[in-house]
Structure 1
């Protein structure tokens, strides 16, 4: 990537550049803006660390080539200084012996995690250095190891990890640093009415009205105390909830696997990835074995992403397509692997989201605007009236000092001292009421803003939907069968006995060709596995099948996992009558090519080309309805359980059972809630990282468009659109698909106008 690249230069006197190294580098942003603003002919400069873009507006006497040359010189100068600074800091750090701030061992041998105080946490986060941001997904794993972990997959040494922890700070997100009590208190004084009362009290003191000044400041103090107590309680509750969960992570240090607090992770650490764990930091994969990660919290994709350590060819790849990366806060659903940490804390993708939210300016609420407007009107009206009274008094012969005191008294009397207190008390009562409904609110003005909502933006995965894959439709024989709340409903009528046999064959095969762990408890079942395989188990349990006993009756002999050249999974099981049961699930097209028989009307019949064509059409129809479709087949074969050949098993004549369609179902009551929003005059907008067909299907089912035509916008190219066009597009669309976390903020700001 070049150091400087113009990306928008169609307007005369205004150019937008992509600057290498600007992304997430606040010191670089400050340097660029300060240097450019000092140059003659530059009228406006705006650098963004969130996009890596630089906007420069300049006079007509400066040419674009002059501006480009100027920026390149500033960038080169900054780069030289940064390299010298890093070298000097590295040499000084290497001479220090740093003690561990994170954990110690007690006399009983049990590991104790030190609880970091709020003040120390704030100091460490604020004092940490910037981390290098590189396109690690286009670099070889060995190169990344050499650059970050000293070329060894055995991990860092404890000493080096301590040095890096001191240099880069703890691995905590920006939001984990709580507001101080002083900042909460001072926030209560930042309003125009409070400023007017303070000014009135000061004037009263100067004119001898000490009693009046004390009374006014008592009102101001009461207002500040009410707001402080209310917001500090919410702040303490939120921080204590975060403290309840102290995430841990497995890392390799000194060639040993250790469990440490997630806050102690540093760049260069080698993470050990296992199912059920949350990824503690952004990392580049160096090893992966059938690794799958649920990235819905970051990308909105409801289906876990399959991860591989290979190199990607393109640098500008969406997060959801970076198959060799794993990100903080995502959940490992299957397989295992190793990854080297490339970013921690605010330099992770999750940290970038927090930074964007933190930098966003909160618009004034209607009440704040009304209070400011009333305050300005009071100042103007009372000033004019006091001036008139002052002039009339002088003409009537009263003394100058006497009329000055009279005018000031009138001005103070015109200010409604109780207005801020009444407003603060009302909002505090609103927060108290919301707490009864188990809702925590940090800021007082957020309560009033809830009553003024005109547009509601909703995430799809986990908000509108359950973020849990479920079987919603199957196709067996020649019939479509809906699966609703674990009940099979045939579209053309009740499921007959013959279809019971075909359905049961598909359900049994789906439950056996499955790696989900099923644990029976007193309250039901606990199922651990990938969302797709869990959905198949839930379908089996809902049909009345005892999955635990089923797996005992058909012991597993071998699993043939999916591979790059074969998108199917095969399991081989022992049976009570000597033969081996082979169950297959996966890509419908691939399984169809392996089948020579089909289960129809309770018996296996030869597979004809006509039957294949019908099934292919059903597969396309289900996929077009935004369903994830799997094919299911089985076979009974004669083979030795000790010698099971993969190719020999797949060469057997498979019997086609049917198609299984899965989706992330909509939460109960959401459709009715959308109708209530529309009735109240509130526009509903869905923002998701899912593909456009899936997003469109959900938007259509929820009737997000009301009586209008549903309009959907693919957001992959939003970064190239200027703010005016962005605002116009946001006002028109009902659904935004393929949205990255950074685009969500742009969309909300566009809707705010």
Structure 2
């Protein structure tokens, strides 16, 4: 029975469909059925077979009840079409679902006298007596013999590793060289050539048949070489990022590879942690997990250790469990690993799905459709050619052989190979510019980006914070490195509140400090390191300070709490709580402020002064943090350390203003994006004033009024409102991780192809949702790199322009290659058809058609995929998504060029007919003219805008070598007796050579003049 789980916002509802659980066929059926309602009620449908949940977005004319009735109808259609039984009313699952679930655990193999081998499967079954989410934490710890203080012993962990195996998901086997080679013979063109060879054998042309299959072998060899290299590149993309996990063993916190995590390990969970295995929570402190990879839920899930009584609970509702592939977005906790490898939930899903070779990119699919349509067209034309030949009195066998050879020559069998090879070359070229591409499709998508969302901190800016201004006790301290001696003097003389602010900011801080050779080595976030560094520069012994005020507990920032809290104990046993975060939120919890060593009441005037200074700092593009402190009984005065109900009672210390300089080249980068027709949007957690100042400096609005939106109330807005705003706003300020995701999806719903840049933990969900997620490789977090499609190894944003340029160039080069294939191959059909229709016989025999296919097609076509970027490639707007590879005008252009090539070859053939009559000598003129004209036409295909005679196109030595080598082969064929006899080329005079040269050059000149 379908149930409404949660109506998230207006127009969005999550259903629980028990039958959907682990049923891939039902998922596909529902997706296909509901796609019919796109634009007429339902805008998106996102099912998840691991949870049995489905998220439906619909227009506001409908209701959740209406959508539920529609889903019920689709389920009835599914059962009727598959003959599957209706679901069990007790469990809600069908027999099919239960069978799939049982099959996910194969029986363990046996050895000897039937004793089971100690495999993970058997060990897991031993532990699966009760679902983990229904057990108390102490019971689970006892089952695995684990202490929450010390974790697993190292020797026990090693034993578990040997027993259960590595924590690795099964990877699909890459295609072997033999599989790649065999696949070259499974295409329609090869079938047509094989048919021609068969006809040649029937007609007694054994040599012809051998040569025809030789052409097939050569084509297959070239395709094998390019595809195998592309396959190597694709496989290498899978190993770019290897996440790690932090586990407690022998009482120590250790960082190990995810593959080394074993059942019984205690995982330490902090913001940014990648969940390495399915685990039961042992401790959870405001722990929030992004489980969208598994459940499809857009918002992070809040986790607890509370026992759940019901066994059959969807994964998304198991609040005391965390699953492999999820990410920690806030809080902290400990989790006991209960399943690893293919026995995790995401691993089970992998075993249910038939793994295939690397999926086709959208462009490959588009080219496949073009190829299929062309096959049908060419076969129809070739059948017409055969019919005309028969009417003209040619033998049936001869015309059938000619028609089949013509069809094989006309169909560009290398289209998918060209696409894969070009995209793989794009990956390699970007790697030279320190850009790592993790998905082959990202190369293609980079070329059609329309909007790029730039995360400010760490992306636009260096994320190298330095404190340059402090406001405390009603006074402003402004300084830089040269002013440190003066600042120290100010602190010593009259800066008690200033010193207290710096000390408390260094205490409410997770920066790790190591002292080596009389110098400090700091590791942590840029903001927190800047505060500690300032304290050290001013002579404060931070390590001694931390010893005197030991840390008891930390509460991290979260979406609901824009501040961090640390709890300390003084030497006298008193408790101390320090608050650091959003200045206005911190100020709202303060009753007093520190001035000249005294705590004074905060009145309206002081609050306005603080707010004014905060606005002034933010307006100067500074990152501003407020700091406050609470002395005394922590659990009193409305403060509860366990629940963090904090409202009043703090003493305001002041604000720190930190400068995070804009990266070099970002100004030019934004200008380049605008020149390329790409809209830029800045997303930041900073205050509006700070974001506005940076946006103005970068000219994000391109001279238009700069529009900025404070995202604090974004959750309360309707999806249609967010969608409308997203298309106008240049800056989103005070943004949370969930807001970033909303913004990206709003832009996507408006039809934009979106890229998201980021480096932090909070960027993960948005990076994953965007068409292209771009992470910083050097300063970025593991989580950001893990989910991104593109990684900038050296954090060089200028490389992003190169990546977009290469993406556009890859697509353009594929178009150039396909353009060349179509225009040249269609010309062969035109020449044969027109000659037969005019009663001039068949100018090209079977062997000549095969030779043209071998010499003029493959190498020049591949060389066109290696074209350098055209000078104007970044001055054109991005191509619309869903646009066919060729427009109607471009198809007409291809037909015009084919007609020009055909007319030139027929001109040479006409001259031969007048001089020699129908026969081998006249055919030789047409053959040589068409072949050389096609080769020269490759130069014309280099650009659809610029003439090759202008000389301003980048050089392409690969094209020059391939065309030059192919022309040399053609000349050798004219003068080598064996080849001449094989190809049926008659004797030629010097005049014939002049005619061939003239008619070969004529199409190039005409097409370039039209272009010019």
2:224 aligned with 1:225: yes
- The residue number in structure 2 matching 1:519 is 514
Per-residue deviation, 1:488: 9.2
Structure 1 residue 658 displacement after superposition = 0.7
Does structure 1 residue 78 correspond to structure 2 residue 94? yes
Q: Which residue of 2 aligns with 1:507?
A: 502
* Residue ranges of structure 1 left out of the alignment (5+ in a row): 10-14, 39-44, 102-123, 636-643
Check 1:264–1:201 CA distance in 2 against 1; reply closer, same or farther (3 A cut). Answer: same
Q: Which residue of 1 is the match for residue 196 of structure 2?
A: 204
Cα deviation, residue 181, structure 1: 2.9
Alpha-carbon distance in structure 2 between the residues aligned to 1:257 and 1:271: 10
2:655 maps to what in 1? 659
Pairing partner for 2:373 from 361, 371, 376: 376
Which secondary structure does the structure 2 equivalent of 1:676 belong to?
A: helix
Q: Which residue pairs with 1:19 in the alignment? A: 17
Checking the alignment, whether the CA contact within 8 Å between 1:595 and 1:654 is kept in structure 2 is yes
Which secondary structure state, in structure 2, belongs to the residue aligned with residue 207 of structure 1? helix
CA RMSD of aligned residues (A): 7.2
Please give the residue correspondences for 1:59-74 in structure 2 after superposition, counting only pairs within 5 Å: 72-73=87-88
**1:151–1:347 Cα change, 3 Å:** closer
For residue 2 of structure 2, what is the aligned residue in structure 1? Answer: 4
Match of 1:29 in 2: 24
SS at match of 1:731: coil
| Contact 1:699/1:735 (<8 A) preserved | no
Do the aligned partners of 1:472 and 1:482 also contact (CA within 8 Å) in 2? yes
TM-score of the two chains, using structure 2 as the length reference: 0.48
Mapped contact 2:278–2:339 kept (Cα < 8 A)? yes
For 1:715 and 1:50, locate their aligned partners in 2 and report how far apart those are by CA, in whole Å.
30
For 1:718 and 1:50, the matched residues in 2 are separated by 27
- Per-residue deviation, 1:417: 7.1
* Counterpart residue number, 1:731: 751
Deviation at 1:527, TM superposition (A): 2.4
Name the CA shift for 1:445/1:344 in 2 (closer, same or farther; >3 Å): closer
Q: Distance in 1 between matches of 2:52 and 2:397?
A: 61
Deviation, 1:20, is: 3.1
Alpha-carbon distance in 1 for matches of 2:466, 2:314: 29
Judged with a 3 Å threshold, the aligned counterparts in structure 2 of structure 1 residues 726 and 207 are, in CA distance, closer, same or farther, namely: farther
SS in 1 for 2:594: strand
1:398 to 390, 394, 403: 394
In structure 2, the CA distance between the partners of 1:158 and 1:372, relative to structure 1 (3 Å rule), is same
Q: Displacement, 1:551?
A: 3.6
Task: Report the Cα offset of residue 680 of structure 1.
Answer: 0.2
Distance 1:442 1:323, change over 3 A: closer
Structure 1 residues 321-336: aligned runs within 5 Å: none
- Paired residue for 1:52? 52
How far apart are 1:556 and its partner, in Å? 1.6
Structure whose CA Rg is larger: 2
Counterpart mapping for 1:127-166 below 5 A = 142-143=135-136, 150=143
Contact 1:394–1:403 (CA under 8 A) maintained in structure 2: yes
Q: After the TM superposition, which residues 551-566 of structure 1 pair with which residues of structure 2 at under 5 Å, given as runs?
A: 551-552=543-544, 556=548, 558-559=550-551, 561=553
Task: Decide whether the 8 Å contact of 1:518 with 1:547 is kept in 2.
Answer: no
Deviations 1:566-617 (A, max 9, x none): 985465778xxx9x998944477778877756336xx758445245433664
Shift in Å, 1:631: 1.7
**Residue pair 1:198, 1:217 contacting (<8 A) in 2 also:** yes
Q: Matches of 1:355 and 1:696 in 2, distance apart?
A: 47
The 3 A distance-change label for structure 1 pair 545 and 311 is farther
* Cα distance in 1 between the residues matched to 2:187 and 2:769: 32
Query: When the two structures are superposed, what TM-score results if normalisation uses the length of structure 1?
Result: 0.61
Contact 2:450–2:753 (CA<8 Å) still a contact in 1? no
Q: Distance in 2 between matches of 1:227 and 1:442?
A: 20
Report matched runs for 1:676-695 at 5 Å. 676-684=672-680
Contact map agreement 1:516 1:528 (CA 8 A) in 2: yes
Looking at structure 1, the residues matched to 719 and 169 of structure 2 have their Cα atoms a distance apart, in angstroms, of: 26
Query: How far apart, CA to CA, are the structure 2 residues paired with 1:80 and 1:236?
Result: 34
Which residue in 2 is equivalent to 1:117?
Answer: none
Question: How many Å separate the matches in 2 of 1:353 and 1:467?
Answer: 38
Q: Secondary structure at the match of 1:213?
A: helix
Q: 2:336 corresponds to which residue?
A: 339
Q: Separation in 1 of the partners of 2:226 and 2:527?
A: 48
Secondary structure at 2:168's aligned position in 1?
coil
Q: Is 1:475–2:494 an aligned residue pair?
A: no
Check whether the contact 2:628–2:650 (CA below 8 A) recurs between aligned residues: no
Stretch moving more, 424-433 or 342-351: 342-351
Shift of 1:545: 1.1
CA distance in 1, matches of 2:718, 2:307: 24
In the alignment, the residues of structure 2 paired with residue 726 and residue 650 of structure 1 have an alpha-carbon distance, to the nearest angstrom, of: 40
CA distance, structure 2, for counterparts of residue 292 and residue 693 of structure 1 = 28
| Equivalent residue number for residue 403 of structure 2 | 407
Distance 1:363 1:488 in 2: 57
Task: Call closer, same or farther: CA 1:456–1:547 in 2, change over 3 Å.
Answer: same
Is residue 2:581 matched to residue 1:613? no
Mark the runs of 5 or more structure 2 residues left unpaired by the alignment. 8-12, 34-44, 57-65, 80-84, 201-207, 295-299, 640-648, 724-744, 774-879, 883-1012
Match of 1:437 in 2: 433
**Matched pairs, number:** 663
Q: Given the alignment of the two structures, is residue 599 of structure 1 paired with residue 619 of structure 2, yes or no?
A: no
3-state SS in 1 of match to 2:431: helix
Distance 1:456 1:605 in 2: 48
- Structure 2 Cα separation of the partners of residues 370 and 521 of structure 1: 60
Corresponding residue for residue 98 of structure 1: 117
Residue correspondence of structure 1 range 698-717 to structure 2 within 5 A:
707=704
Moved more, 625-634 or 346-355: 346-355
Q: Do the aligned partners of 1:686 and 1:699 also contact (CA within 8 Å) in 2?
A: no
- Which SS does the other structure have where 1:286 is aligned? strand
1:172 is aligned to 168
Question: CA distance change for structure 1 residues 246 and 663 in 2, over 3 Å: closer, same or farther?
Answer: same
Map 1:225-374; keep pairs closer than 5 Å. Answer: 225-235=224-234, 237-238=236-237, 247=244, 250=247, 262-263=258-259, 265=261, 269-273=264-268, 279-287=275-283, 309=305, 337-341=334-338, 347=344, 364-365=362-363, 369=366, 373=370
Q: 1:734 to 1:676 in 2, by over 3 A?
A: same
State the shift of 1:337 in Å.
Answer: 3.7
Matched residues in 2 for 1:740 and 1:442: separation? 15
**1:398–1:334 CA distance, 2 compared to 1 (3 A):** closer
Q: State the secondary structure of the residue aligned to 1:527.
A: strand
Equivalent positions of 1:617-628 (< 5 A) are: 617=611
Higher strand share: 1
Distance 1:249 1:296 in 2: 19
List per-residue Cα deviations over 1:142-162 (Å, max 9, x = no partner). Answer: 446758984975599999999
Q: Distance in 2 between matches of 1:726 and 1:237?
A: 33
Q: Distance in 2 between matches of 1:457 and 1:183?
A: 44
Structure 1 distance, partners of 2:490, 2:540, is 25
- Map Cα deviations across residues 670-714 of structure 1 (whole Å, 9 max, x no partner): 5643332222012456789x7998999799677766658568875
Q: Show the counterpart of 2:969.
A: none
1:638 corresponds to: none
Given that 2:277 and 2:324 are in contact with CA atoms closer than 8 Å, whether structure 1 keeps it comes out as yes
Instruction: Tell me if the contact between 2:324 and 2:345 (Cα under 8 Å) persists in the aligned partners.
Output: yes
**Which whole-Å CA distance do the structure 1 matches of 2:253 and 2:674 have between them?**
55
